[in-house]
Structure 1
Amino acid sequence: MTTTERTAGFAPRDRADAIDGFACPATRLLLAGDGLTTTSLEAWARAPLRIGTLECRVRGGRDAPVAPAAAVLGDRDRFLVRGSTLADPAGTVWSANDVVARLDLDERITACLRGTAALGPALHRAGVRGRRSLLAVGRTPWPLAPAPVAAAYRVCLLRHGTEPLAVVREIFNPALIDPRPLTGGAR
């Protein structure tokens, strides 16, 4: 797979159609979820997950690795970018994640973004009650494969109250989370 498939625009029906296009019911449930990704993946893995790799840095707005970030978070010159993986105790990576966040955030949120824990649980422990809005879902190349292989992904907007905090892209390991499309038109 050489190109990223995306849902058309931000319309809820388009996202629902894209989710319905996955063959595996468990994949559809994961993609449609409005949060608790780490908890969902831990249930799937039947093991706790931890951050496998982590990189945080400040990048220019035009260099944000998640396409809708600047449009959704506002036209800013710089963003905090966090790249991470979630891995099980055996070291198997379940997801590769990119977070693009505003720099003018509450100290608690910035500490979570720069911390070494999974973001959702860290925000929850810090008392930040974020909610997610699904922006896009589809298939994209799995970034950890030596050759292109399709993986399921989703992009969410994370908010605290009405404030947009970050855009989160989660790409799921295709060896563990089935990215195959539904074939034959039956749903």
Structure 2
Amino acid sequence: MSMTTFSRRGLLGAFAATMITAAPTSSNAFGILRGAGDIRRIRMYSGRTGESIDTVYWIEGSYIKEALNEINHFMRDWRTNQVKVIDPRTVDIAAAAHRLMDVNEPYMMLSGYRSPKTNSMLRSKSGGVAKNSLHMRGQAADLRLKSRSVSQMYRAASACHAGGVGKYSRSNFVHMDCGPVRTWGA
């Protein structure tokens, strides 16, 4: 079995095990989804911008373009205001981990897309920032929850077997990306 097949199956299994049936409430535009069975939803807020997002972005096998555009804007580099297309697989991992933890609280997003300029600046201040970070490709997110520990978040994201998961206990966040399956951190 290839790593890609295993990753995809693990992620789909995580969604199947925790499927939600609640009607979306974030926008009237998604009113037609009320009562739909197979949906994916992401809930996040940013302490940096004061913005929040609560959206169904996938239904019964298809991503919703308008919702993905909202996610792209929300996860922009807040320092430069640059928007990049966020790889929906990263959102899938975050949403699946959220469902596995069975929480209502939205994620606090610390970092989504990072421009090369922002990544370079952060790298000059911290040894924990990769030179070729997946944040610069729109393939990573650094997330926190008040109601769950870093270890709980790390275990939930790792259980998806769908990408990279880093545990940053001292900084109180978990990195999730759609790159190769791997884990790190203390």
> How does the TM-score come out when normalised to structure 2?
0.26
Q: Kindly indicate which of the two structures has a greater share of residues assigned to strand.
A: 1
